């Protein structure tokens, strides 16, 4: 049985870590390199860095950040935001990232998933899916949740798996930043319909929420931001609580 992973997420804007609610109302949460070093030291299994306002001319900024993070941490980390080509990925991996996360670019050009998987291996490719429950259907959104598509979450998840994605990072826009818990019903369905790991994201507010997403949602990993950034939950204590609930984690 594989251990469950705890993954702090650092949303990056203008070189700083930020956090909002339902993808808006962003506030500063600190220096990303300093936070990364702290999380690596105190028990995080992986890290995710998402440049939430990435544009092509800022690619060098993100690559420089990756280099700085790689010098400070000894755990795997994933980088996403504005990645749209083999060249983008090549730079980030060369600078020390272990994996990349693609989202809008994958929807606009699904063949990109195939290309990246073939070039770098599926273990390097995470497809992030931001979706919102609208009138009973989970609809995929792009550009930091600003642009709705016609894609259904579950259909898209199955397609990205077929195209070579190594894992899926699913964020419920309804739950993001609310601290009311993860969208476990949707996560459980995803887990049953695809055969690659599902990272649950959006809604963590207390330790029980993590227990619930691993037990009820069948998630392989749980990602959170503000509860870690603002020290509402300590990762070591969280993992001890998960162990008490029979959930296998690395201490």
Catalytic center residues: 11, 130
CA dihedral of 64, 164, 36, 105, whole degrees rounded to 10? 50
| Paired tokens of 99 | 């994996």
Parallel, antiparallel or unpaired: strands 16-21 and 167-172: unpaired
The SS3 call for residue 168 is strand
| Of the candidates 15, 43, 48, the residue with the CA atom closest to the CA atom of residue 29 | 15
**DSSP symbols for 56-101:** GGGHHHHHHHHHHHHTT--S-EEEESS--SHHHHHHHHHTT-SEEE
CB within 8 Å of 241: residues ≥ 6 apart: 207, 210, 211
- Contact indicator for 72, 37 with CB cutoff of 8 Å: yes
């Amino acid at each position: 049985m594989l251990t469950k992973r705890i993954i702090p997420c650092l949303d990056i804007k203008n070189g700083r870590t930020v956090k909002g609610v339902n993808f808006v109302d962003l506030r500063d949460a600190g220096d990303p390199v300093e936070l990364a070093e702290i999380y690596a030291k105190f028990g995080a299994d992986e890290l995710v860095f998402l440049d939430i306002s990435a544009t092509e001319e800022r690619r060098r900024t993100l690559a420089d950040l990756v280099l700085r993070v790689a010098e400070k941490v000894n755990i795997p980390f994933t980088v996403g935001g504005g990645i749209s080509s083999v060249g983008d990925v090549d730079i980030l991996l060369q600078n020390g990232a272990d994996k990349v996360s693609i989202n809008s670019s994958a929807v606009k050009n699904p063949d990109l998933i195939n290309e990246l998987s073939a070039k770098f291996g599926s273990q390097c490719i995470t497809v992030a899916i931001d979706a919102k429950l609208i009138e009973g259907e989970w609809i995929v959104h792009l550009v930091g949740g600003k642009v709705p598509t016609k894609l259904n979450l579950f259909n898209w998840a199955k397609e990205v798996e077929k195209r070579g994605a190594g894992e899926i990072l699913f964020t419920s826009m309804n739950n993001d930043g609310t601290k009311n818990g993860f969208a476990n019903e949707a996560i459980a369905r995803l887990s049953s319909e695809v055969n690659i790991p599902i990272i649950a994201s959006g809604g963590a507010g207390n330790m029980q929420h993590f227990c619930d997403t691993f037990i009820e949602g069948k998630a392989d990993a749980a990602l959170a931001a503000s509860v870690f950034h603002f020290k509402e939950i300590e990762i070591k204590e969280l993992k001890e609580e998960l162990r008490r609930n029979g959930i296998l984690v690395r201490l």
